[in-house]
């Protein structure tokens, strides 16, 4: 059976279960687009190529599958770099297809030629330049396997024009096997026996869970472990939703803007159980003061992440879900006694930290951004998929909205990419069409990719955008307020658009609140609309996110007001 490269590509994508591709067409991928039109694969036209990757990222997270995007060569490919870097740092399974000039022109500075493989090599799990049509099917299958296995991540496939046009005799391929790539899923059982002993002995233990728990779909196993062992639990930003935020064992998020009790608990604990985390700088603060009294257990499927930033007592290489399932079975055979009673002093101390330094704000005459997020949580009962932009809006969404389920908090954690939330919401809404999807944004970050409202309109998506509008680039302004004597250099967002009129220009509903008493009725009106809605909340201009660990400080040295 003779097929063109474009036909082979569509055939293999169908075999991989692809239903939606996010993208933007161009000359060298026009044959692929023409062939896609003949299939039932849905193409979602974004308005800028980075948003194709962000949307595929949101789709992958909300839908627990591989996200796919397709763009043209040159500027189409280079525009994806920010989206790829964000997916790479958050370990999100995305396959990016880029067009390339014909193979005989590569290296000749042809029109819209760039070295896409070279540019993206540092920010992909792996990438390919397809040189022959005969290799295309095998490479695509490898790309999906690599993106979704082990520690997930983005994989890029660069397809020259002639590779997509040429015809070859096509034969279906068998399952992918890569001799040089074999992730370790099952842990060393001897190490797990050591962990059991450490758990039973610990007087002040803490579990610290991260995005790896969600990526490995281990939320149930993590919850079982925490409740079985009665160990209080905190998560990183990426781990939110991996453990129920309404559970009594929940301490809140840890790190630079984590809760007082979670950061103090890590500072005082004698056992720190890290699960699917990287121990990045936003969590640890000053490394020599991080968990100074604790023995540290670290579970991660990526061996290069263990001991990379923090010394570890017991390193365990393995998939979080598989490893925790093994550990829970071992614990079932143990007489754990009444651990909560044994650790009463520890629980009392944690309760004291919570009662004396809770997350708090005072709502008076001007709308507080925290108040908006709390009301959003009350009205949705925590049953919405929340995407965020990056900055203060992101931190308030992490602090004041409580996540009981995995894959309900979608944010750019490692890269901290402004403009992420709206395209990610598009992907999440398409993955979960029956769910309420809300993008919590700032007035600065929403303008990074506001053009994607056209994609929202074209796809008729009922996405809700909640803008916490303070007239500043809020997080940078906060640092300028605290450490630069309020010299607000280039952080004032003057001449911002009228977001209500802008919403209407895109065919959406635009709403605005300027007083605290308007917040709840406006949220009700916006959330229960069947159309896309932009809700503009004019909030306190100089509100800061607290707690805050200053740069170079220990995690226990927080600014609280």
Report the candidate in 126, 122, 124, 130 with the shortest Cα–Cα distance to residue 29. 130
The answer to whether domain 189-356 and domain 369-538 are alike in fold is: yes
- Six token digits for residue 472: 């500043």
Q: How many CB atoms lie within 10 A of CB 194?
A: 15
The domain limits of the chain are 2-169, 189-356, 369-538
Residue 19 and residue 26: Cα distance in Å, rounded? Answer: 21
Res 338: pLDDT: 86
Res 346: pLDDT: 96
Classify domain 189-356 by CATH architecture. Answer: 3-Layer(aba) Sandwich (3.40)
Q: How many CB atoms lie within 10 A of CB 441?
A: 34
Q: How many CB atoms lie within 10 A of CB 554?
A: 18
Res 561: pLDDT: 83
Q: How many CB atoms lie within 10 A of CB 460?
A: 10
Identify the three-state secondary structure at position 315. strand
Identify the three-state secondary structure at position 69. strand
Give the CA-trace dihedral at 535, 536, 537, 540, to 10 degrees: 150
Res 1: pLDDT: 84
Fold of 2-169: Rossmann fold (3.40.50)
Residue 520 and residue 362: Cα distance in Å, rounded? Answer: 17
Positions marked active-site: 49, 111-112, 161, 475
Residue 317 β-bridge partners: 300
* Phi then psi dihedrals of residue 55, to 5 deg: -65, -40
166-199: pLDDT as tens digits: 999 998 888 888 988 999 999 999 999 999 999 9
Q: How many CB atoms lie within 10 A of CB 530?
A: 8
Res 31: pLDDT: 98
One pLDDT digit (tens) per residue for the chain, 561 residues: 899 999 999 999 999 999 999 999 999 999 999 999 999 999 999 999 999 999 999 999 999 999 999 999 999 999 999 999 999 999 999 999 999 999 999 999 999 999 999 999 999 999 999 999 999 999 999 999 999 999 999 999 999 999 999 999 998 888 888 988 999 999 999 999 999 999 999 999 999 999 999 999 999 999 999 999 999 999 999 999 999 999 999 999 999 999 999 999 999 999 999 999 999 999 999 999 999 999 999 999 999 999 999 999 999 999 999 999 999 999 999 988 888 888 999 999 999 999 999 999 999 999 999 999 999 999 999 999 999 999 999 999 999 999 999 999 999 999 999 999 999 999 999 999 999 999 999 999 999 999 999 999 999 999 999 999 999 999 999 999 999 999 999 999 988 899 999 999 999 999 999 999 999 999 999 999 999 999 999 999 999 999 999 988 999 999 998
34-87: pLDDT as tens digits: 999 999 999 999 999 999 999 999 999 999 999 999 999 999 999 999 999 999
Report how far apart, in Å, the C-alpha atoms of 141 and of each of 12, 90, 92 are: 7, 22, 17
Q: Are the beta carbons of 236 and 413 closer than 8 angstroms? A: yes
Res 456: pLDDT: 98
Res 174: pLDDT: 80
Q: Are the beta carbons of 510 and 534 closer than 8 angstroms? A: yes
Report the candidate in 67, 71, 122 with the shortest Cα–Cα distance to residue 92. 67
- Six token digits for residue 177: 């096997």
Report how far apart, in Å, the C-alpha atoms of 331 and of each of 198, 200, 523 are: 12, 10, 46
pTM (2 decimals)? 0.97
Fold of 369-538: Rossmann fold (3.40.50)
Res 222: pLDDT: 98
């Amino acid at each position: 059976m003779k097929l063109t490269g474009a036909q082979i590509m569509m055939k293999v994508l169908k075999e991989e279960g692809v239903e939606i591709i996010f993208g933007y067409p161009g000359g060298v991928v026009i044959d692929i687009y023409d062939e896609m039109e003949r299939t039932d694969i849905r193409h979602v036209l974004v308005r800028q190529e980075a948003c194709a990757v962000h949307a595929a990222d949101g789709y992958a997270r909300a839908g627990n599958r591989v996200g796919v995007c397709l763009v043209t060569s040159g500027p189409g490919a280079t525009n994806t770099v920010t989206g790829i870097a964000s997916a790479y740092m958050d370990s999100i399974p995305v396959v990016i297809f880029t067009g390339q000039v014909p193979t005989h022109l590569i290296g000749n500075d042809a029109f819209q030629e760039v070295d896409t493989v070279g540019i993206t090599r540092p920010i992909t799990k792996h990438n390919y330049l397809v040189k022959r049509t005969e290799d295309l099917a095998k490479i695509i299958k490898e790309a999906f396997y690599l993106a979704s296995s082990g520690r997930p991540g983005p994989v890029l496939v660069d397809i020259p024009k002639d590779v997509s046009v040429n015809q070859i005799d096509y034969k279906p391929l068998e399952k992918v096997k890569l001799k040089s790539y074999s992730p370790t899923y099952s842990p060393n059982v001897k190490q797990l026996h050591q962990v059991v002993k450490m758990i039973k002995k610990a007087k002040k233990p803490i579990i610290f869970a991260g995005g790896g728990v969600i990526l490995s779909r281990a939320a149930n196993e993590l919850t079982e472990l925490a409740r079985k062992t009665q160990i209080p639990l905190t998560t990183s930003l990426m781990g939110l939703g991996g453990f129920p935020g309404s559970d009594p064992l929940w301490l809140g998020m840890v790190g630079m803007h984590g809760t007082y009790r979670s950061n103090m608990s890590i500072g005082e604990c004698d056992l720190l159980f890290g699960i699917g985390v990287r121990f990045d700088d936003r969590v640890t603060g000053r490394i020599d003061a991080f968990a100074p009294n604790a023995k540290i257990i670290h579970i991660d499927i990526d061996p290069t992440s263990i001991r990379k930033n923090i010394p570890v007592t017991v390193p365990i290489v393995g998939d979080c879900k598989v490893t925790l399932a093994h550990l829970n079975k071992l614990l079932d055979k143990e007489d754990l006694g009444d651990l909560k009673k044994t650790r009463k002093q520890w629980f009392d101390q944690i309760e004291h930290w919570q009662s004396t330094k809770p997350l708090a704000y005072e709502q008076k005459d001007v709308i507080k951004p925290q108040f908006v997020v709390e009301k959003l949580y009350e009205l949705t009962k925590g049953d919405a998929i929340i995407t965020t932009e990056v900055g203060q809006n992101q931190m308030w969404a992490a602090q004041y909205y409580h996540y009981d389920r995995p894959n309900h908090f979608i944010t750019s954690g490692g890269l901290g990419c402004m403009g992420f939330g709206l395209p990610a919401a598009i992907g999440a809404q398409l993955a979960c069409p029956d769910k309420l999807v809300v993008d919590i944004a700032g007035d600065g970050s929403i303008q990074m990719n506001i053009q994607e409202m056209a994609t929202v309109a074209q796809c008729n998506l009922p996405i809700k955008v909640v803008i916490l509008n303070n007239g500043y680039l809020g997080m940078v302004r906060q640092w300028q307020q605290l450490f630069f004597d309020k010299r607000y250099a280039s952080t004032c967002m003057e001449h911002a658009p009228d977001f209500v009129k802008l919403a209407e220009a895109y065919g959406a509903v635009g709403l605005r609140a300027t007083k605290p008493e308007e917040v709840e009725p406006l949220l009700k009106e916006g959330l229960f609309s069947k159309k896309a809605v932009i809700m503009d909340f004019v909030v306190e201009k100089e509100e800061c996110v607290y707690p805050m660990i200053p740069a170079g400080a220990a995690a226990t040295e927080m600014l609280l007001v």
